[in-house]
Amino acid sequence: MSGRGEYVLALYIAEHQGEPPVSPGQVAERLGRSPATASEMFRKLGDDGLVDYEPYEGVALTEAGRARATELHETYVLLSWFFRAVLDLDDHEGKAMEMAAVMDHEVAAQLVETLPYDAEVPPELEVPDRDDDAEA
């Protein structure tokens, strides 16, 4: 797994755990990649306008990158919840990270809709309440 979306998502999470800019090594560690590989990907994402990357300074999401990352994160949360509640995967977060960049957000939302109402929701995941969605 080495897609651009995965790096955008990992950077988004890292930015929320600290202040940008984030070192490429921090993102590389999260994804099981080398810092050099992450730096190369951030150069490409910079060319795409999704990040601002300064060698030796770090990387930060642009406005366009943040918009893409927000959707990826929502998909990640939905998948992580599904993988834990339904499939009981030990590495539900890792698998969700892998798939969030390749799965359509609407498909992930439909997977979650298949969950029984009494499915245990991991407390660390912020998943919208179904009643709140119906009222919106």
Instruction: Tell me which of 111 and 131 has the higher pLDDT.
Output: 111
Q: Of 49, 66, 83, which residue is a domain's last?
A: 66
Same-domain check for residues 75 and 38: no
Same-domain check for residues 50 and 100: no
Are residues 70 and 30 in contact, defined by beta-carbon separation less than 8 angstroms? no
Pull the structure tokens for residue 10: 């990992």
Same-domain check for residues 85 and 35: no
- Other beta carbons within 10 angstroms of residue 49's beta carbon come to 11
Q: Which domain holds residue 110?
A: 70-126
Same-domain check for residues 62 and 74: no
Q: Which pLDDT does position 69 carry in this prediction? A: 94
83 belongs to a structural domain:
yes
User: How many structural domains compose the chain?
Assistant: 2
Per residue in 27-81, pLDDT tens?
Answer: 999 889 999 999 999 999 999 999 999 988 999 999 999 999 999 998 898 888 8
